[in-house]
């Protein structure tokens, strides 16, 4: 490693903006004592085009944070303090306790919980560690809370799930672009450079920053009641159907030649005339007609869904309804048009492809598929019969911790479920009930504060690996400097534990290059085939998109320029055996809970510009913390007044699961029946205390985006009555 500038990528969202890190003057990055804050500069790259958001600009500030963990911590007695320990002591303790629990209660007594922020190599290694070193089926990850509904819907419709099945740059020329439950102006600002405001149609209960851009630029904002996006999609499809927009020769041929199931969807849409849709959603029939006409007229169009459509107990069906609309218009697999999903976490795409999800093996293979098990077992050098089956999904796993039938120990890597999981206080109770909680992190997150053992691990700029961004492009993340003394990488942690649990050291390499080589072999032939993602291609920053099969013998070196793999999916056929996409008839159904007399308002949650996910990182960056210092609740001014609240007052927001405190922020553009809270904050302001863990029956996604609540003054007065909320 030298002191030269290093090309890498931002540690935050799935846009994976390109940046250059330059060590401080006089620093020697090969020395662990080197200054730990390199300079950040954006660089040209197709997704960000030389731009960074506020989070990206400040990302290096955590590298020398005074809150960095640099030594293992061990809690000797329940409720006692964490004390510093040596690595051998900490790893010996963890391995000994894991082994004892497995001996006493079986392999599923120990669980693992991963992250959509882990590199591909670490996600792969964690999945292998769980199934080979621990022998447990009990592994899932926080990406279940992010992408699972869109992944399930995409797989049902297309036979394959990749967030964007086309490069981001295809959006530049879109003539109409529908964003459903996505707010990229705050969550991934550089993406906005690809979006023409005049052609934007934003679907969101809030007038978000993205909706405001659309309105100011001549686009549309459709503002449905929370939980009615599915009906809105059916209403748009109805308009397109009855007004003849779907009868063009090109669209008719597309449906006949490239899809199956149209008639069932057509019958569903026929029942959602604009006025019926308006009564349920609150979106004016005239706006429905304007949006449908804009989509139908555009020579190139896109529909993109985000968490607002997906994080529901009917999230899969909701996304399916938008896919049905896209298929009816002939968008997926058509050059210059398409349907896609805006992946959230930095490696939200790669993180769900290589085995840290409860039902998956590397290459997006299903763990119950005998052929998949045989292939991966051969790469791992273990009997296929030794691999466990599918385990619990993320919420079900967290909810089972410490119960008689659930895991008694948990290893957490890269996640902070105390803040990010639904029904957060229940999660705290379950974590406290464990015999052993082990957290690998670089900061003392709220989850680490509950741990019995905390293992300090390297940060993004201190280790190499690969990430897969929202468009399925595999990227090289490069180390800029060594970790601080006393810090190990996640791969070294898994290696140390595996050896202590009786596995050989070579089974769990610590070199990311060796792990990537094994990952490529394990994924070969799978849906997410990385076999052809050769290091020399990644090092040269060639555009490499999965699936990227290995080059056939004798094929020679790939051409020196151009994309490798599959930048645009479905151009010739979809991934089902017959090559056709599936229309899937879906019907609107109510959310798992609706407002009532005791809880007359909808609450929805989301992110804000300055913070990322649970906020464990961004809340420790002074500039970001100063700009967004704490929890707030957005309320329509009339709703606030009826609750006895004024702008700036501290409100108490109460759901059936608990209450939080937040500063009132009056927003005239919000629906009067809806309040919004960001979920980045812990403690009394933790928005996910309110959220409902009701699960989608297919994806097992909790219903983050809709909870029934009431508003009160923090002093206990002024509760919203049902009459006032009406």
Tell me the three-class secondary structure of 284-341, residue by residue: CHHHHHHHHHHHHHCCCEEEEECHHHHCCCCHHHHHHHHHHHHHHCCCCCCCCCEEEE
Cα dihedral across residues 246, 247, 250, 255: positive or negative? positive
**Backbone torsions φ then ψ of 70, nearest 5 degrees:** -130, 5
- pLDDT bracket for residue 716 (50, 70, 90): low
Cα dihedral across residues 330, 333, 338, 341: positive or negative? positive
pLDDT at 34 over 60: no
Question: pLDDT averaged over the chain?
Answer: 94
* Residue pair 601/711 in contact by the 8 Å Cβ criterion: yes
Examine residue 611 and state whether it is found in any structural domain, yes or no.
Answer: yes
Residue 330 contacts by C-beta under 8 Å, 6 or more apart in sequence?
250, 251, 254, 255, 337
Examine residue 317 and state whether it is found in any structural domain, yes or no.
Answer: yes
Return the pLDDT at 562: 79
Examine residue 536 and state whether it is found in any structural domain, yes or no.
Answer: no
Least confident range of 199-213, 295-309, 559-573, 673-687 = 559-573
The Cα–Cα gap between 557 and 186 comes to 41
Q: What pLDDT, in 10s, does the model give residues 296-320? A: 999 999 999 999 999 999 999 999 9
Residue 405 contacts by C-beta under 8 Å, 6 or more apart in sequence?
none
CATH of the domain at 257: 3.40.228.10
Residue 481 contacts by C-beta under 8 Å, 6 or more apart in sequence?
1, 23, 27, 29, 34, 36, 38, 63, 461, 462
CA distances, 134 to each of 77, 410, 507, 531 (Å): 25, 11, 13, 27
323 and 418 part of one domain: no
Q: Which domain holds residue 636?
A: 601-725
Return the pLDDT at 89: 98
The average pLDDT across 173-183 equals: 97
- pLDDT bracket for residue 55 (50, 70, 90): very high
Return the pLDDT at 715: 82
pLDDT at 369 over 60: yes
Return the pLDDT at 344: 84
**Backbone torsions φ then ψ of 114, nearest 5 degrees:** -105, -155
The average pLDDT across 627-633 equals: 96
Q: What pLDDT, in 10s, does the model give residues 68-81? A: 999 999 998 888 99
**Total domain count, the chain:** 4
81 and 124 part of one domain: yes
- pLDDT bracket for residue 37 (50, 70, 90): confident
Examine residue 153 and state whether it is found in any structural domain, yes or no.
Answer: no
The average pLDDT across 329-335 equals: 97
pLDDT at 36 over 70: no
Helix (H) or strand (E) holding 454: strand 453-456
pLDDT at 720 over 50: no
The Cα–Cα gap between 289 and 278 comes to 11
The Cα–Cα gap between 123 and 494 comes to 11
pLDDT at 32 over 60: no
Examine residue 83 and state whether it is found in any structural domain, yes or no.
Answer: yes
The average pLDDT across 110-129 equals: 97
324 and 256 part of one domain: yes
371 and 446 part of one domain: yes
Examine residue 397 and state whether it is found in any structural domain, yes or no.
Answer: yes
Domain boundary among 464, 483, 508: 508
Return the pLDDT at 78: 84
Return the pLDDT at 24: 81
Q: What pLDDT, in 10s, does the model give residues 185-231? A: 999 999 999 999 999 999 999 999 999 999 999 999 999 999 999 99
202 and 275 part of one domain: yes
pLDDT at 152 over 50: yes
- pLDDT bracket for residue 718 (50, 70, 90): very low
pLDDT at 555 over 90: no
Q: What pLDDT, in 10s, does the model give residues 457-484? A: 999 999 999 999 999 999 999 999 999 9
Q: What pLDDT, in 10s, does the model give residues 223-261? A: 999 999 999 999 999 999 999 999 999 999 999 999 999
Return the pLDDT at 561: 65
105 and 184 part of one domain: no
The Cα–Cα gap between 647 and 307 comes to 28
Return the pLDDT at 717: 53
- pLDDT bracket for residue 25 (50, 70, 90): confident
112 and 206 part of one domain: no
Angle at 402 between CA 401 and CA 408, to 5 degrees: 90
Return the pLDDT at 107: 97
Domain boundary among 64, 90, 106: 64
CATH of the domain at 370: 3.40.50.740
130 and 81 part of one domain: yes
pLDDT at 595 over 70: yes
Examine residue 537 and state whether it is found in any structural domain, yes or no.
Answer: no
DSSP string for residues in 397-447? HHHHTTSTTS-SEEEEES--HHHHSSSHHHHHHHHHT-SEEEEEESB--TT
CA distances, 194 to each of 51, 190, 420 (Å): 12, 8, 30
134 and 235 part of one domain: no
In this structure, the number of other CB atoms found within 10 A of the CB of residue 123 comes to: 32
121 and 188 part of one domain: no
Peptide bond into 547 cis (omega under 30): yes
Return the pLDDT at 646: 97
Domain boundary among 47, 64, 81: 64
322 and 357 part of one domain: no
502 and 475 part of one domain: yes
Return the pLDDT at 722: 34
Pairing of β 453-456 and β 436-441: parallel
pLDDT at 726 over 60: no
Pairing of β 707-713 and β 650-655: antiparallel
Examine residue 571 and state whether it is found in any structural domain, yes or no.
Answer: no
What's this model's pTM, rounded to 2 decimal places? 0.94
């Amino acid at each position: 490693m030298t002191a030269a500038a290093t090309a890498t990528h931002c540690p935050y969202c799935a846009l994976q903006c390109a940046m250059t890190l330059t060590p401080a003057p006089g620093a020697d990055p090969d020395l662990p004592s080197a200054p730990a804050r390199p300079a950040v500069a954006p660089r040209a790259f197709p997704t960000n085009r030389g731009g960074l958001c506020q989070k990206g600009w400040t990302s290096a500030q955590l590298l020398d944070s005074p809150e960095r963990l640099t030594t293992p911590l061990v809690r000797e007695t329940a409720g006692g303090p964490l004390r510093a320990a040596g690595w051998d002591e900490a790893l010996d303790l963890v391995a000994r306790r894991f082994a004892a629990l497995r001996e006493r209660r079986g392999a599923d007594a120990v669980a693992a919980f991963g992250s959509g922020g882990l590199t591909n190599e670490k996600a792969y290694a964690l999945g292998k560690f769980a199934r080979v070193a621990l022998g447990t089926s009990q592994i899932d990850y926080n990406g279940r809370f992010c992408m699972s509904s869109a992944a399930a819907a995409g797989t049902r419709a297309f036979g394959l799930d990749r967030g964007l099945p086309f490069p981001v740059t295809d959006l530049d020329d879109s003539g109409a672009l529908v964003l459903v439950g996505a707010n990229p102006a705050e969550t991934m600002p550089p993406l906005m450079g690809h979006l023409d405001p005049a052609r934007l149609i934003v679907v969101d209960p809030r007038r978000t920053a993205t909706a405001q851009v659309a309105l100011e630029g001549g686009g549309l904002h459709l503002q449905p009641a929370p939980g009615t996006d599915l009906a809105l999609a059916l209403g748009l499809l109805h308009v397109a159907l009855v007004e003849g927009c779907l009868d063009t020769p090109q669209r008719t041929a597309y449906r006949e030649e490239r899809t199956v199931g149209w008639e069932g969807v057509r019958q569903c849409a026929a029942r959602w005339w604009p006025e019926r849709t308006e009564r349920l959603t609150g979106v004016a029939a005239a706006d429905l007609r304007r949006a449908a006409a804009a989509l139908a007229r555009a020579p190139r169009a896109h529909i993109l869904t985000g968490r607002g459509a997906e994080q529901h107990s009917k999230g899969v069906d909701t996304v399916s309804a938008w896919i049905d609309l896209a298929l009816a218009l002939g968008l997926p697999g058509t050059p210059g048009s398409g349907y896609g999903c805006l992946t959230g976490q930095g490696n939200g795409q790669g993180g769900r492809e290589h085995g840290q999800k409860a039902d998956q093996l590397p290459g997006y293979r299903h763990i119950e598929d005998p052929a998949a098990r045989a292939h991966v077992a051969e790469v791992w050098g273990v009997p296929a019969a030794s691999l466990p089956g599918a385990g619990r999904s993320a919420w079900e796993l967290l909810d089972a911790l410490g119960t008689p039938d659930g895991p008694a120990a948990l290893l957490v890597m890269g996640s902070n479920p105390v803040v990010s999981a639904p029904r957060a206080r229940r999660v705290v109770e379950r974590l406290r009930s464990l015999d052993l909680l082990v957290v690998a992190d670089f900061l003392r997150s709220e989850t680490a504060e509950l741990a019995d053992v905390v293992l300090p691990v390297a940060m993004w700029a201190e280790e190499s690996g690969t990430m897969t961004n929202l468009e399925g492009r595999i990227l090289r993340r490069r180390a800029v400097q060594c970790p601080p003394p006393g810090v190990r990488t996640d791969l070294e942690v898994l290696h140390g534990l595996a050896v202590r649990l009786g596995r050989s050291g070579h089974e769990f390499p610590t070199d990311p290059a060796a792990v990537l080589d094994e990952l490529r072999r394990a994924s070969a032939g799978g849906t997410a085939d990385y076999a052809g993602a050769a290091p020399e291609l990644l090092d040269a920053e060639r555009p490499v998109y999965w699936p990227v099969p290995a080059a056939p013998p004798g094929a020679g070196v790939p051409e020196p320029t151009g994309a490798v793999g599959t930048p645009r999916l479905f151009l010739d056929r979809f991934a089902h055996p017959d090559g056709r996409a599936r229309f899937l008839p879906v019907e609107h159904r109510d959310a798992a809970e609706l407002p009532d007399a005791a809880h007359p308002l909808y609450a929805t949650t989301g992110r804000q510009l300055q913070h990322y996910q649970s906020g464990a990182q961004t809340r420790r960056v002074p500039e970001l913390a100063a700009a967004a210092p704490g929890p707030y609740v957005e309320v329509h001014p009339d709703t606030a007044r009826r609750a006895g609240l004024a702008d700036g007052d501290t409100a108490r927001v109460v759901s059936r699961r608990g209450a939080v405190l937040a500063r009132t922020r009056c927003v005239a553009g919000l629906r009067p029946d809806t309040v919004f809270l960001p979920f980045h904050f812990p403690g009394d302001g933790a928005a996910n205390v309110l959220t409902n863990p009701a699960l989608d029956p297919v994806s097992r996604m909790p219903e983050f985006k809709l909870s029934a609540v009431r508003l009160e003054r923090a002093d206990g007065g002024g509760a919203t009555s049902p009459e006032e909320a009406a």
